[in-house]
Amino acid sequence: MYSLLWVLARVVARMCFRYRVVGRVPRSGGVLIAANHASYFDIPLLGCGMPRRAWYLGRSDLFVPGLKGILQWLGWIPLRLGRLDRQAFDKAVDLIKRGKVVVIFPEGTRTLDGRLQEAKRGLGMLVAQTGCPVIPAYLKGTYEVLPAGAKRPHFHPVTVFFGDALRFAAPVENGETKRFYQDVSRTVMERIAALGQVEPPNHPEQAGACNAE
């Protein structure tokens, strides 16, 4: 079923959105894809740009109950808002450690104006617990296809950019954890912005203890 939907999404994307993919995802090993979030079309258009099956962390209130079971079977990991959802993050960590691809939208919600937003701390937490490489990704054009509040999609070119893998040195001391999360978020969002050639979000925190390669 996943393969069939992958092919269908790819065909529709090429016919309707002149779909292109720049860069690639590693063909093996656990990896975290961190992408900007501009539209409900982000998940299918990001997914059909990867040759591997992926699992997606996403808000638990997005879909009606009858649809949720099917989407979870296809790879959606529902994430409860307003608190740290340990169950969802544990599942994502387990998948990455088993060599799977997990996608996270670090901003936590769709942009309302097309601009990048600051990342939440969940991105840094997954990196700290898995030590996995992070692939920054930028979806260009999905905001124009279906911005927040739009009732129908528009025909607009879409390009998915995958950047080089980022690796982060884990914090040495427990007191460095918060700064590590901040630095991971800042670095990844800057790379995402560079892929799309757009302005990165403002980060009040200064650079700290982690290094990206």
pLDDT in tens, 4-50: 999 999 999 999 999 999 999 999 999 999 999 999 999 999 999 99
Q: Give the pLDDT confidence of 121-159 residue by residue, as tens digits.
A: 889 999 999 999 999 999 999 999 999 889 999 999 999
Tokens 């740009």 locate to 49
* pLDDT in the model for residue 165: 97
Q: To which H or E segment does residue 104 belong?
A: strand 101-104
> Could you say which of 1.10.10.10, 1.10.240.10, 3.90.550.10, 3.40.1130.10 is the CATH number of the domain covering 2-196?
3.40.1130.10
Could you report the per-residue pLDDT of 184-193, keeping only the tens digit for each? 999 999 999 9
Are 146 and 96 in contact, with CB atoms under 8 Å apart? no
CA distance 100 to 102: 7
d(CA 43, CA 31): 17
Query: Cα 83 to chain center, whole Å?
Result: 19
Residue recorded with tokens 């979870």? 72
Report field, pTM of the whole predicted structure over 0.85: yes
